[in-house]
Amino acid sequence: MILIKNQKISFNNEYFKKIKKFLLDKKVKFELIDSYPFENANIEKIQQAKVIIVFGGDGTILNTFKHVKNLRETLIVPINFGKLGYITSIPKEASFAVIEKVIELEDNLKNDNLKIDERHLIEVQNKKKKHLVLNELIVTGLKQGKPIRFEVSINGKNLIQFKGDGIIVATPTGSTAYNLSAGGPILAPNIEAFILTPISPHSLNLKPIVMSKFDEIKVIFENEHENQKAIIVDGEKSDEKVDSLVCRISRKKLSFIKPYLENHFETLKHKLFWSKNNY
């Protein structure tokens, strides 16, 4: 078992002292990781771990995810020590009870005390490199105020050509991130679909598009030398030089351990203040 926390939090506070004592009393072997970027030795531990408990915000989850090697066998417990945290949905107040149940994982899955929450990923491919995306792929211009020309094809057929500040290709998990701010729809996390959302397009008619698991999109950019662009994968800027990207739903999934009664829409209702009467 690996415990990973945001480095702004101390492992020496009372909460973590309680967690560590409990795990030691139960004779559970665990490792503590609290440094970013991860050192090679810690990356190896993440790659070999079966259960990873993450204490932090969504950024801590994304930093951890990119080092998970065996997605079929690795389970992540996402505990919210951040501010908003859609992915890290387990509140700190309820987290100790969840960790207690994780120790007897198989029994608590069978008894419906815990559940496995599988999240769909996007596979992004260029000529030389492949990315797995948990949240979103963003392509935007490096020069502020200077738009990029995009050409988008779906399943080999040209769909649209437009100029804009950028595009977002988002998973259902990432639908509540930048996609939401850019006017894209919220998808339930178990829907096998993904979203193409233009950022400030120079068109009144262009809207976000939701695509199914059977769809593949290809995005072609204008000439590299005419306007430099940034490729950002799950919040991390890539230095690759590309003139096109192909995106599709991956067969791989990332699995979270959650309380059995957790409801995604109740989480959204709370975090987006839908329950507040503004009238």
User: How high does pLDDT run on average in the chain?
Assistant: 90
> Residue 41, SS3?
helix
pLDDT of res. 263: 86
Residues 154-194 have pLDDT tens digits of: 999 999 999 999 999 999 999 999 999 999 999 999 999 99
pLDDT of res. 84: 74
pLDDT of res. 26: 93
Q: Which of 34, 58, 107, 234 is catalytic?
A: 58
Residues 114-152 have pLDDT tens digits of: 999 999 999 999 888 899 999 999 998 887 778 889 999
> Residue 274, SS3?
coil
How far CA 197 is from CA of 90, 166, 171, 193, 194, in Å, comes to 28, 9, 11, 13, 10
Whether 58 is a known active-site residue: answer yes
Residue 55 pLDDT > 90, yes or no?
yes
Of the pLDDT bands very low, low, confident and very high (cuts 50, 70, 90), residue 254 is very high
Of the pLDDT bands very low, low, confident and very high (cuts 50, 70, 90), residue 29 is very high
Query: For tokens 């990315």, what's the residue?
Result: 131
pLDDT of res. 127: 80
| β-bridge partners, 248 | 123, 216
Cis check for the bond before 37: say yes or no (omega within 30 of 0).
Answer: yes
Q: Which backbone phi and psi does 60 adopt, to 5 degrees?
A: -65, -40
